[in-house]
A and B are shown apart, each in its own frame.
Chain A
Amino acid sequence: MLRAVGVSQSRGEEAVFRDLSVGVDAGEVLAVIGPSGVGKTTLLRTLALSLEPEDGRVAFDGTDAWKADDSERLSLRRRTGMVFQEASLFDASVARNVEYGLRVRRSWRDRLRDELRSIAGSKKHPHAVRESLEVVGLTGKTGQHAGSLSGGEAQRLSFARALAYDPDVLLLDEPTSDLDPRNTAVIEDAIAEARDRDIGVVVATHDMHQAERIADRVAVLLGKHIAEVGPTGSVFENPRDERTRKFISGELVY
């Protein structure tokens, strides 16, 4: 559904990756694993149409997003949701954060009417907001300020915010890297829920056990290329690539 085909990116002088191809289909979970600094975040931002590839193309159902005009690219971008590695919540309530994606998709007239209602205190939260908060177990925090959440809650909110407008693809950048086992389990369950809703999920992670637990397929990003991509079981048990084998067994340390 969403594919990067032969994309290259560099930051400053140095190439991050070259001629890289990877894609995700509806209802599957793809884990992108690789050592720190290899370019997982850069790849996810490229897939999110937030970073234009220097070479190659990013295609959504066959449409080359960077050949499309601005409004078409906006509507393609609106089919993806992303959870960032670092905190990126808005300085507003939990509910307003989750509603953001829905709000920007409404007409200005409806948005204005909504704002007036919320000032008057007669505004109800859309069903999708409550539903997404339920998926990550945050329904009790709806009115709280996002800045006052714990790290784990903030990360869960970030997930709910990306899920609320029912995207076709979810891009998750190390969504559990700083989390305790309980919060990690909540996020992993939410990923399973997203897959059940036929969303294509790409998760960047450096936790190989997590990749084994949740992913249908694994892409191993090593030294500017995808060293190996395939079904989770076969990549972990039977890697074809020598460096993949070393990376998975922990021999390859960057």
Chain B
Amino acid sequence: MERRRIRGLTVSFEAIPQALAGVLDLPFPEGYVSSIVYVSLYVSLTAVALSTLFSVPVAVAMGFSEFPGKRFVKSVINAGMGFPSVVVGLVVLFAVSNQGPLGPLELVFTTEAMIISQFVLATPPITAISLAAISGVRENVRDAARVLGGTRLDVALVVLKEARYGIATAILAGFGRAISEVGSVLIVGGNITSADGVSKTRTLTTAIQLEARQGQYGTAMALGAVLVALVLAVNAIVVRFGDQGVRR
């Protein structure tokens, strides 16, 4: 069921470059674009989902406690938002390489390695923006939740609910960074297709840079259009989802 739905989604994305292909006369191998979209979405969504499960609890814990060095940790996370993705890719590549600590898992040039590097890239924005949203919840609302009889967990749930739009923004920012990123996925994934031209570790971004380098500007543009459509679609879904909670 789930698979079929993803299929349906990617098949419809095939339509955009195919329509353009008609105009620009670009031959795409069968299933090429679908497989690229699939790899892009699979890697980015998995990394963002895992990062959210990690980042939001960290942001809650940080928002609720005072400890020495908190400001330092915050500035490290903030700096992480601007961390060069190529360097992250390099470090992850080393980690999964034969000499690295994750070497035995044989993850070089796999989607798993790409997920690891996207996780590292998405975590700082998701944590930092969630933390800002959580810190922005009025002290009074927290107090009210506690004084009205809430346990620590109840208070945390209230704060999460109050900060939900900010947290949704954080997740979108993380997704935006992951899906549109080239450097690290190129390094750890290797931009590979199998013999029949179906993507193994090729994402929209790495495909675009490859096509552009080969002078296939039309193809690159078409893939760029798919990427933009994808980002807009995911944003629209999240915004739509968020609006359902509001009955003002």
Contacts and interface: CB of A to CB of B under 8 A. Distances in A.
Given A50-B147, A88-B140, 9 more contacts: A45-B143, A77-B146, A77-B147, A86-B138, A89-B144, A93-B247, A100-B148, A104-B149, A145-B247
A101 B149 contact: yes
Counting contact residues on chain B (CB < 8 A from A), the size range is: 10 to 19
Given A50-B147, A81-B148, A90 B140 contact: no
Given A91-B161, A93-B247, A145-B247, A84 B148 contact: no
Contacts of B150: 100, 104
B147 A80 contact: yes
B112 interface: no
A100 B143 CA distance: 13
Contact of B149 (A92, A93, A105): A105
Interface in A150-181: 161-162, 165
A78 interface: yes
A147 B138 contact: no
Closest 5 CB pairs of A and B: A88-B140, A88-B144, A78-B149, A101-B148, A82-B147
A88 B138 contact: yes
Interface residues of A, number: 30
Interface of B: 138, 140-141, 143-151, 154, 158, 161-162, 246-248
A50 B147 CA distance: 7
Give the one of B140, B146, B148, B149 with max A CB within 10 A: B148
B158 A90 contact: yes
A100 B145 contact: yes
Contacts of B247: 93, 143, 145
A148 interface: yes
B248 A77 contact: no
A154 to B, nearest CB: 12
Contacts of A84: 140, 143-144
A74 interface: yes
A24 interface: no
Contact of B140 (A48, A87, A147, A161): A87
Contacts of A74: 149, 151
Contacts of A148: 248
Contacts of B154: 104
A88 B143 contact: yes
22 contacts: A48-B147, A74-B149, A74-B151, A77-B146, A80-B147, A81-B147, A82-B147, A84-B143, A88-B140, A88-B141, A88-B143, A91-B162, A100-B150, A104-B150, A104-B151, A104-B154, A143-B247, A145-B246, A145-B247, A145-B248, A147-B248, A161-B144
Nearest to A147: B248
Contacts of A93: 247
Contacts of A87: 138, 140
Contacts of B162: 90-91
A77 B140 contact: no
A145 B154 CA distance: 21
Interface string A100-142: 1100110000000000000000000000000000000000000
Nearest to B155: A104
A213 B150 CA distance: 33
B146 A50 contact: yes
B88 to A, nearest CB: 36
A148 B247 CA distance: 10
A151 to B, nearest CB: 15
Contacts of A92: 161
A165 B143 contact: no
A50 B248 contact: no
A88 B162 CA distance: 11
